[in-house]
Amino acid sequence: MATDLIVPLKPPHAGKSRLRGALGYPADAECHAALVLALASDTLRAATAAPGVRRVLVVGSDPEALAALRELGAEVVDEQGNGEVLGGLNGALLVGERLLRAADPLAAVGALQADLPALRPGELAAALAEAGGRRAFTADRHGTGTTLLLSGAGQPLAPRFGEGSASAHTASGAVPLALKAPSLRGDVDTPEDLEHARLLGLGPSTTALLGTACVPH
Ligand SMILES: Nc1nc2c(ncn2[C@@H]2O[C@H](COP(=O)(O)OP(=O)(O)OP(=O)(O)O)[C@@H](O)[C@H]2O)c(=O)[nH]1
Ligand SMILES: C=C(OP(=O)(O)O)C(=O)O
């Protein structure tokens, strides 16, 4: 069964605060927002190309970022635009889940972080295949966070993202997937994470951005 993915995106100027100035890239607000948007663009390019993925829905509140990501073929929704503001990352995921389940109550719904710039479509597809319709997740490379959470078909996603989410997802009965999938586990929170993703092979948006000068304002 194909999976519908929600990709949550905090406004790029506010998100990924620990990345400011990473790899020598300017810490200026606009330069930083461009870097965060590039990470999301590479994530979405891979997610929309992955076999087994049916819909990719970005949930966020920054109109410019949502417009840019729509250009890449993702669906987008304003997390504050439907009169239901649940707040925070898990709240945004619930907004997305409701929309996807309204369209197909039996959908297998997943949440994919927007900071996976080295993501390979084949590794995402392999994770969906290993999950096989179970509620399951991939922990990040450190083993503490979560990069992908999948629901069982027609079952609630019940996201518990946040500090220590890998333990929280295990405690809530989600199956930790065993596949290696380094690109799927390589989320980028810190400069060290970005260097790790660079060694795995960054997608075209992040590669291009880091190769050009951003002039701080
Ligand atoms: N829509 C939405 N997405 C969020 C929100 N908070 C975090 N996210 C997204 O959730 C994913 C994981 O978030 P974190 O890694 O905690 O990101 P962050 O808050 O941008 O990073 P830090 O500033 O380093 O804590 C990323 O894709 C974020 O863009 C939120 O309030 N709303
Ligand atoms: C919110 C999370 O992301 P991060 O660890 O990247 O902050 C999480 O892993 O649950």
Gyration radius of the chain's alpha carbons: 16
Query: Tokens 């220590």 map to which residue?
Result: 164
Q: Which among 89, 81, 84 has a CA at the least distance from the CA of 157?
A: 89
**Could you tell me which residues come within 8 angstroms of residue 87 by beta carbon, excluding any fewer than 6 positions away?**
none
Predicted pLDDT of residue 190: 95
Q: 3-class DSSP state for residue 13? A: coil
CB of 184 within 6 A of ligand 1: the answer is: no
Q: Where are the domains of the chain?
A: 3-210
CB of 46 within 6 A of ligand 1: the answer is: no
- Is 162 annotated in a binding site? The answer is yes
DSSP type of residue 11: -
CB of 12 within 6 A of ligand 1: the answer is: no
- Is 205 annotated in a binding site? The answer is no
d(CA 139, CA 178): 9
**pTM of structure:** 0.96
Model confidence pLDDT, tens digit, residues 122-164: 999 999 999 999 999 999 999 999 999 999 888 999 999 999 9
User: What CATH fold (topology level) applies to the domain 3-210?
Assistant: Spore Coat Polysaccharide Biosynthesis Protein SpsA; Chain A (3.90.550)
Model confidence pLDDT, tens digit, residues 83-135: 666 679 999 999 999 999 999 999 999 999 999 999 999 999 999 999 999 99
Q: Which among 84, 181, 196 has a CA at the least distance from the CA of 138?
A: 181
Query: Tokens 């291009």 map to which residue?
Result: 208
State the ligand closest to the CA atom of 145.
Answer: 2
d(CA 23, CA 72): 26
CA of 154 to the centre of ligand 2 (A): 25
- Is 165 annotated in a binding site? The answer is yes
| ipTM of predicted assembly, 2 dp | 0.96
CA of 156 to the centre of ligand 2 (A): 20
Q: Which atom of ligand 2 is nearest to the CA of 165?
A: 10
Q: How many CA atoms lie within 13 A of 59 on its CB side?
A: 31
